[in-house]
């Protein structure tokens, strides 16, 4: 299920929503003159009051479907988020959600308001992107999104070099095996294993091909008879899998490893935990070769066997951010390191 989740955790754009609305509303004010008639429109700003934190809590709850999921996405306590949504309902005098079992469903009014708040959040994100892209200051925060394996094993050396050469750059890692939304500033730069799609994205192919193989300890491979073929490995071995073990088996079978149902008695969605379990001799783990081939405690289960999966490595940023000197420094450092990995 995680692959379908979009984590909307960037707080920054919401602090500029007010400014975005001011610009938008002023742009919409009509000053039209026809003959001697002049029409003016003036917003009474003192009567315009809105709590954007409450609106953000409402929108993320609508997208995630529950207070608990929204609280995780925003890094808040569930009671705090629930109070924000309740306060917004009281402020507006409407009911935004209906509870259906374990999920929250938007009312008709809530659905209409969610579209308005979503438009405001997108405008705020665009505002933030454009402003950030104009910055020529190297000092500041850069958010890098990458998978668990890339974040845990390939990025530390890059970050160490960056911190030595540019001490003013602060790095925030968005560690997830799902795709971050660059339009919403969930990340400034993303490491992806598929070709990016979008005219507003700038991408560089830093590696045309990286392979993932099955790895295990020498002791574990000996216990299962040191299999020499994909068929023998699938017959006697067990794979430490993801919670969605059916998808894992499909990948393995498509790669020529006919693992049967029930081949993953140990499962977790955390790839780094899978890797640690494999290093303890509890089974096989699929890992990219840039990591697996450098780990002394494990070896390829089949040195000449086919890869489990073959993927490219792309580096992606939003078009507006590519003009930022700070983003360029980090983008180029990542590209160089990942090409050499």
Residue ranges per domain, the chain? Answer: 2-133, 137-341
pLDDT at 105 over 60: yes
The top-scoring range by mean pLDDT among 7-11, 52-56, 225-229, 318-322 is: 225-229
Q: What is the pLDDT of residue 137?
A: 61
Between 17 and 328, the more confident residue is 328
pTM score: 0.61
Pick the range with the lowest mean pLDDT from 132-136, 263-267, 317-321: 132-136
Cβ pair 30, 41 in contact under 8 A: yes
pLDDT at 295 over 80: yes
- Domain 137-341 listed as CATH 3.30.450.90: no
Pick the range with the lowest mean pLDDT from 28-37, 152-161, 257-266, 269-278: 28-37
Residue 44: alpha-carbon gap to chain centroid: 40
**Pairing status of strand 97-100 against strand 103-106:** antiparallel
Model confidence at 9, pLDDT cuts 50, 70, 90, reads very low
Counting other chains too, the contacts that 222-231 makes at CB distance below 8 Å and 24 or more residues apart are 227/301, 227/302, 228/302, 229/302, 229/305, 230/256, 230/257, 230/258, 230/302, 230/305, 230/306, 231/258
> pLDDT tens digits for 303-321?
999 999 999 999 998 876 6
Q: What is the pLDDT of residue 282?
A: 97
Q: What is the mean pLDDT of residues 87-98?
A: 88
Helices (H), the chain: 12-15, 17-28, 52-64, 67-74, 78-92, 108-133, 148-149, 155-165, 218-223, 230-236, 245-254, 271-279, 289-292, 325-340
Q: How many other CB atoms are found less than 10 A from the CB of residue 335?
A: 19
Average per-residue pLDDT for the chain: 81
User: What CATH class does 2-133 carry?
Assistant: mainly alpha
Secondary-structure breakdown of the chain: helix, strand, coil percentages, each rounded to the nearest 5: 45, 20, 35
pLDDT at 257 over 50: yes
DSSP 153: I
> pLDDT tens digits for 189-228?
999 998 887 777 888 999 999 999 999 999 999 999 999 9
Model confidence at 273, pLDDT cuts 50, 70, 90, reads very high
Is 137-341 in the same CATH topology as 2-133?
A: no
Pick the range with the lowest mean pLDDT from 57-61, 139-143, 184-188: 184-188
Q: What is the pLDDT of residue 63?
A: 85
Q: What is the pLDDT of residue 121?
A: 73
Cβ pair 145, 176 in contact under 8 A: yes
Model confidence at 179, pLDDT cuts 50, 70, 90, reads confident
């Amino acid at each position: 299920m995680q692959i379908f989740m979009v984590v909307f955790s960037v707080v920054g754009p919401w602090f500029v929503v007010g400014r975005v609305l001011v610009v938008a509303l002023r742009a919409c004010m009509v000053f039209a003159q026809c003959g001697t008639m002049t029409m003016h429109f003036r917003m009474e700003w003192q009567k315009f009051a809105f709590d954007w934190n409450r609106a953000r809590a409402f929108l993320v709850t609508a997208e995630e479907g529950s207070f608990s999921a929204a609280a995780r996405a925003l890094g808040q306590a569930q009671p705090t988020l629930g109070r924000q949504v309740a306060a917004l309902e009281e402020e507006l005098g409407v009911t935004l959600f209906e509870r259906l079992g374990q999920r929250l469903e938007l009312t008709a009014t809530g659905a209409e308001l969610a579209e308005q708040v979503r438009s405001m959040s997108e405008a705020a994100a665009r505002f933030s992107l454009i402003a950030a892209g104009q910055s020529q200051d190297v000092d500041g925060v850069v958010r890098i999104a990458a998978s668990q394996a890339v974040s845990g094993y390939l990025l530390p050396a890059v970050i160490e070099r960056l911190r030595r050469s540019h001490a003013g750059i602060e790095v925030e890692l968005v560690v997830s095996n799902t795709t971050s939304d660059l339009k919403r500033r969930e990340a400034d730069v993303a490491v992806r294993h598929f070709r990016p799609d979008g005219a507003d994205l700038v991408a560089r192919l830093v590696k045309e091909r990286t392979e993932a193989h099955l790895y295990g300890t020498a002791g574990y491979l000996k216990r299962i008879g040191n299999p020499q073929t994909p068929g023998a490995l699938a017959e006697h071995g067990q794979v430490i899998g993801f919670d969605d073990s059916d998808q894992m088996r499909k990948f393995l079978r498509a790669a020529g490893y006919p693992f049967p149902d029930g081949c993953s008695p140990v499962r977790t969605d955390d790839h780094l935990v899978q890797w640690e379990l494999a290093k303890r001799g509890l089974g096989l783990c699929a890992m990219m070769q840039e990591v697996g081939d450098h780990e002394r405690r494990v070896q390829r289960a089949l040195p000449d066997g086919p890869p489990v999966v073959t993927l490219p490595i792309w580096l992606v940023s939003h078009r507006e951010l590519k003009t930022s000197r700070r983003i360029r420094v980090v983008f180029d450092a990542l590209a160089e390191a990942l090409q050499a990995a």
